[in-house]
Amino acid sequence: MVEKNSASPGNPPKRFLRLRQFLGDVPLLAWLFGGLISVLIEQQVGERLANLLGLPKIPVLFGFMLAMKEPLLLPGALAYVLVLYILTIVLIGKITARPFNLMAAKMIQWPIAIPVILHLVVLYAIMHFWADISLYRELTLKLTLIAIMLTLSLNIINGYMGEFSCSHPGFMSLGAYGASAVMVLFFVNDRLFGDAILPEVLGPFLFPLALILGGIVAALGALLIAIPSFKTRGDYLAIISLAFMFIVKSLFENLQFLGGARGLKGQPDLANLPTVFIWLVICVWVINNFVRSTMGKALNAVRDDELAAEAMTVNTRRTKMVAFLFAAFWAGVAGGLFAHTVRFINPNTFGVQRLAEILAMVYFGGLNSVYGSIVGAVSLNLLGEMLRPLALFKWIIIPLLLILIMIYRPTGLVAFKEFDVRKLIQPKRKPEKEV
Amino acid sequence: MRKGFLALVAVLVLGLALAPCGLAAQKTIKIGINAPITGDIPKVGEGSKYAAEMWLEDIKAAGGLDVGGVKYDVEVIIEDNESKPESAAKAATKLITEDEVLAIVGPQSSAQAIPAGEMANNFGTPMISPWSTNPDTTKDRPFVFRGCFLDPFQGPVVANFIKEEFGFTKAAVLYDVASDYPKGLAEVFKEAWEKNNGPGSVVAFESFTTKDADFSSQLTNIINSGAEVLFTPQYYNEVALIVQQAHELGWKNPIVGSDSWGSAETVKLCGEECYGLFFTTHYAAAGATGATKAFIDRYNQKYGYVPDDVGALTWDSLRIVQAAIQGTGGLSGDLKKDREAVKDAMANIKEFDGITGKMTFTPDGDPIKCAVIVRISDKGEFEFYKSVCP
């Protein structure tokens, strides 16, 4: 769906224009409805359809993995995706465009929360039924959603603030260890912390608090590095933040009560799909509001010209500090969710490799843009998973893609685009015949 | 246009209604390999992959796997875990839910084996990690096994060996504090040594961090401490540096290592400096006999180098899986039941005769097996010195 909405490069060829004409009047809710129907159909008859097309099972990630292992199945997998996802969604979206447009027109006059929640519920239902097919899908989806949070939070610093920070894995590990320590201490009979203190039923209630605590720990870490490093700019901040990442890593390697280099395991299994989804929604909402607030605009001013911003009464120091801590907080929350999804963390998980991964998602998706972060995190995560059968070649293809993106769109796929919820859910009219 | 769509939909609906409900069950057994093909330790992944290929060759040559009188085809599915914990968990989940494997061999390192073992245990799939030495991998997980001995066994073996062989009472330890395996083993060794020789008999307990290349300050401390022997449970690249630098600084006493030395690269990098040193490991390549020799020769001929312990342990793990599948006495075709049966059969394996020694599993899924003490000969080969059994 994302591909279709964003099929608007500078000079689109004619058939794209025609496609846009054809699909331009479909509102978001109709798309979501189409998606919901398509995953429901998959749940009911997916297995049979797959067998009919000669596939052994439902293609788990759009048939990519299957086709790569057995190229003969490629037509079947393509047909499956075409019929079940693309055709169904387009067809239903197109058919229901008119009633949903009317509905959207009505809803847009209500308080914004009502239509937004409606959209989110449908979106969640799609994910739920899609992930219901296979636990592998669910795990991949959860890690993808967490990656969106990480990407978005780094985008605040690297995109909106225009600095180059390398300490995100550090913040993530602070959050991961913070949240894990609390949860393991209270709810798990463990070698490191001894017996559980609280009954297990309280776990889900304390989990959000533990995540927030993890976020706060990360923000405190960010404060430690922000104070000395904001006297510098550019390359120096990058170096200081990189050093910070290594300091955090070796801190956890040496903290025996948190497992040291052996890592910490046994986090309770609380990061299920709805939990991760709700946290992601909160994260996107808060960050989107933040970057569109006066503070966010001040942040852009600092990025473009710090001196001019100072002259225009922007308190640059405070702005930078708040943004940095804010980003670290969300990285910490994402780290906590990550720890409870994988249910094992060790200091090595939060090293240079993780940093490269997050940076790639930010720059692939697009700087200074919420859309971009979502696109970057989702595409790189799914791509990484879909190309898994290629093993070594995966690490040639993905970097190559990144290089191509950097050449043709130097700021990323969807950079500098505002995420306007009202615009997103409003009724759509047929675009005029332009050009 | 819309008519076309409708026709298509009609055809599909009809097709679906007539489609058979699932294909007939094929007689194929799938075994998953969860290995670090890419990432930090690709050599380990390669060893696992080659061992699996050789095993599959054997099965194919025999015309399939005979379980309870029925011949099954065997398929090995190798999944890359990028040597990352979350990727190992994903790979395990994919093997279990998508590929529907009967059992999983791998991951090799503990950092990947712990999260992958969690998934395997939750979904009731037997998993055996050939190389992971962290107790957490198998602890409280009935479905998870391992193919190697644990550090709490290896540490005392080294300590006792040094005492018997040289009669030393003062030891020094040099280890990587940031890496899970050396750190754990160093601590176990220290405990065992001090139990033998009294508190304070480990006169120097020096550490460094992964990727350090200069150990002169630690080694100087060790030399000044009056230690009679140096124990360093490090990987091959560090072993070469440590041994060379120690000799440069005037260290003349023995240096003893652990199973992480057991790579062909150790001698390649270290050269003559390492000749005559001892380490504990799972099997000795030089002077091996019987099945072990057959395996080494075949591997060497096929891939051009003597397999290190990962290859041998993976081979053994695969054969344990094979023995367990055959030990079920027949598969029902119901994957859940079969996995359960394979797990039970694996737990009941007694005195399994592997190329790395005889194995019997404890209730935790850890094998009771002998360690081998190897001397690096004057030709640079790993020579069998003696065997220590629990």
Q: Just give the CATH number of B151-281.
A: 3.40.50.2300
A397: enclosing H helix or E strand: helix A394-408
Contact B82/B41 with Cβ under 8 angstroms?
Answer: no
- Confidence (pLDDT) at A377: 95
Q: Which residue of B has its CA nearest to A346?
A: B111
- The verdict on a CB contact (< 8 Å) between A51 and B84 is no
Chain B residues whose beta carbon lies within 8 Å of the beta carbon of residue A392: 37-38
b/e per residue B62-74 (b: at least 16 CB within 10 A): eebbebeeeebeb
Residues of A contacting chain B (CB within 8 angstroms):
45, 47-49, 51-52, 56-57, 60, 65, 83, 87, 91, 134-136, 139-140, 143, 249-250, 253-254, 260-263, 265, 338, 341-349, 353, 385, 388, 391-392, 394-395
Those residues with Cβ within 8 angstroms of residue A266's Cβ, 6 or more apart along the chain or in another chain: A184, A188, A190, A343
Q: How far is A57 from chain B (nearest CA, A)?
A: 8
- Confidence (pLDDT) at A123: 94
**What residues form DSSP beta bridges with B127?**
B104, B144
**B97, B185, B235, B335: best to mutate for the A interface, most A CBs within 10 A:** B97
Q: State what percent of residues in chain B have pLDDT above 70.
A: 93
**B112, B180, B183, B207: best to mutate for the A interface, most A CBs within 10 A:** B180
Q: Using a CB–CB cutoff of 8 Å, tell me whether B85 touches chain A.
A: yes
Token pair 């998993």 is found at B127
Question: Mind listing the pLDDT tens digit for each residue in A39-76?
Answer: 998 888 888 888 888 887 888 887 777 777 777 788 88
pLDDT band at B263 (very low <50, low <70, confident <90, very high): confident
| Token pair belonging to B323 | 């023995």
Those residues with Cβ within 8 angstroms of residue A309's Cβ, 6 or more apart along the chain or in another chain: A298, A301, A302, A316
Distance CA B270, CA B30 (A): 41
pLDDT over 70 (residue A84) = yes
Task: Tell me whether domains B28-148+290-369 and B151-281 share a fold.
Answer: yes
Question: Mind listing the pLDDT tens digit for each residue in A372-390?
Answer: 999 999 999 998 888 888 8
Nearest to B16 among A48, A250, A262 (CB): A48
Q: Which residue of B has its CA nearest to A140?
A: B90
Average pLDDT, chain B: 87
Q: Just give the CATH number of B28-148+290-369.
A: 3.40.50.2300
Burial class (CB within 10 angstroms; exposed 0-12, middle 13-18, buried 19+) of B140: exposed
- Please list the helix, strand and coil fractions of chain B in percent, rounded to the nearest 5, in that order: 45, 20, 35
User: What sections of B19-150 are H helices per DSSP?
Assistant: 42-61, 85-93, 110-122
Question: Mind listing the pLDDT tens digit for each residue in B193-236?
Answer: 999 888 889 999 999 988 888 999 999 999 999 899 999 999 88
> In this structure, which long-range contacts are made by residues A108-117, counting pairs with CB atoms below 8 Å and at least 24 apart in sequence?
A108/A422, A108/A425, A108/A426, A108/A427, A112/A421, A112/A422, A115/A29, A115/A425, A116/A421, A116/A425
CA distances from B358 to A278, A414, B46, B102, B130 (A): 52, 60, 25, 24, 14
Measure CA of the first residue to CA of the last residue in chain B; give whole Å. 77
Indicate where chain A has its CATH 1.10.3470 domain(s). Answer: 134-425
**A80, A344, A345, A357: best to mutate for the B interface, most B CBs within 10 A:** A344
| Token pair belonging to A320 | 């930078």
pLDDT over 60 (residue A96) = yes
CA B165 centroid distance within chain: 28
Q: Cis link prior to A27 (omega < 30° from 0)?
A: no
Those residues with Cβ within 8 angstroms of residue B39's Cβ, 6 or more apart along the chain or in another chain: B45, B81, B82, B83, B84
Q: Using a CB–CB cutoff of 8 Å, tell me whether B63 touches chain A.
A: no
Nearest to B38 among A253, A345, A392 (CB): A392
Distance CA A367, CA A300 (A): 12
pLDDT band at A3 (very low <50, low <70, confident <90, very high): very low
**Cβ–Cβ contacts within 10 Å for residue B253, how many?**
17
Number of alpha carbons in the 13 Å side-chain half-sphere of residue B163: 17
Span A27-50, mean pLDDT? 88
pLDDT over 60 (residue B24) = no
Q: Using a CB–CB cutoff of 8 Å, tell me whether B209 touches chain A.
A: yes
Question: Mind listing the pLDDT tens digit for each residue in A282-328?
Answer: 999 999 999 999 988 999 998 888 888 888 888 888 898 999 999 99
Distance CA B241, CA B308 (A): 20
- Confidence (pLDDT) at A7: 43
What value of ipTM does the predicted structure carry? 0.86
pLDDT over 80 (residue B323) = yes
Question: Mind listing the pLDDT tens digit for each residue in A336-365?
Answer: 999 999 999 989 889 898 999 999 999 999
Extents of the domains making up chain B = 28-148+290-369, 151-281
- Confidence (pLDDT) at B12: 52
Q: Using a CB–CB cutoff of 8 Å, tell me whether B4 touches chain A.
A: no
Interface A-B: count of C-beta contacts within 8 A: 108
| Token pair belonging to B345 | 């059969």
- The verdict on a CB contact (< 8 Å) between B180 and A388 is no
Three-state secondary structure call for residue B210: coil
Three-state secondary structure call for residue B124: coil
Question: CATH number of the domain at A134-425, out of 1.10.1160, 2.60.40, 1.10.3470, 1.10.510?
Answer: 1.10.3470
Phi-psi region of B301 (alpha: psi -120 to 50; beta: other; left: phi over 0): alpha
Q: What are phi and psi of A375, to 5 degrees?
A: -60, -45
Q: What are phi and psi of B248, to 5 degrees?
A: -60, -35
Span A398-423, mean pLDDT? 87
